[in-house]
Amino acid sequence: MDVVSLASAAGAVICGVGTWLMYRVSSRHDSKGASDERVKHHIHESLAPITQEVAALRQQFGGMTDLHKMELKVAIGESLGPLREDIAVLKNQVDKFWKDVVYNAATSLHQRDPRREPIDHLLEKLQSRTLTEEERRMLRHYLRLIRSWEPGTDVGFPVKEGEQFQAGLLLSVMDNVP
């Protein structure tokens, strides 16, 4: 891990030095040719210590045997193990959260009204995760109609006040459910 830290630090230093040099050069009002030469000279001088460090690292780790490389990979893998476990737990929690959001939004939109049977059927299929792509497209169409519904307008089926939010929520999260 020290090699990675050192390489990251070296990269940051290189970026910083390059930015500083570009600022110094661009703030002067010299001719372009003189400025270019000055930049090259400053970069070469400023990067010399870093170049030497990188060369030393290459020499030190370039001769690593396959066994050493394998040991380094194993050490890194072992140190990342707890992080992988935490990510897996977090992924499961997020998946459960999205499933709950979709289920609850679909439940609140379900009306058991014969005029909304096609929508209710699609909501049930979404909850059971058996929705086909064509059905998903149709459900999205209905949800957009509900989301943009305003009192007094006829969209071909009954819509209750407040369903716009649930339809918009469902539209935004229904694809997050595995």
Residue 143: per-residue pLDDT = 96
- 117-139: string of b/e by CB count within 10 Å (b at 16+)? eebbebbebbbeeebeeeeeebb
| Confidence grade of residue 131 (pLDDT, cut at 50, 70, 90) | very high
For residue 134, the one-letter residue type is E
Per mean pLDDT, which of 3-12, 37-46, 101-110 is the most reliable?
Answer: 101-110
Q: Which residue has the higher pLDDT, 39 or 19?
A: 39
Q: Which residue has the higher pLDDT, 8 or 109?
A: 109
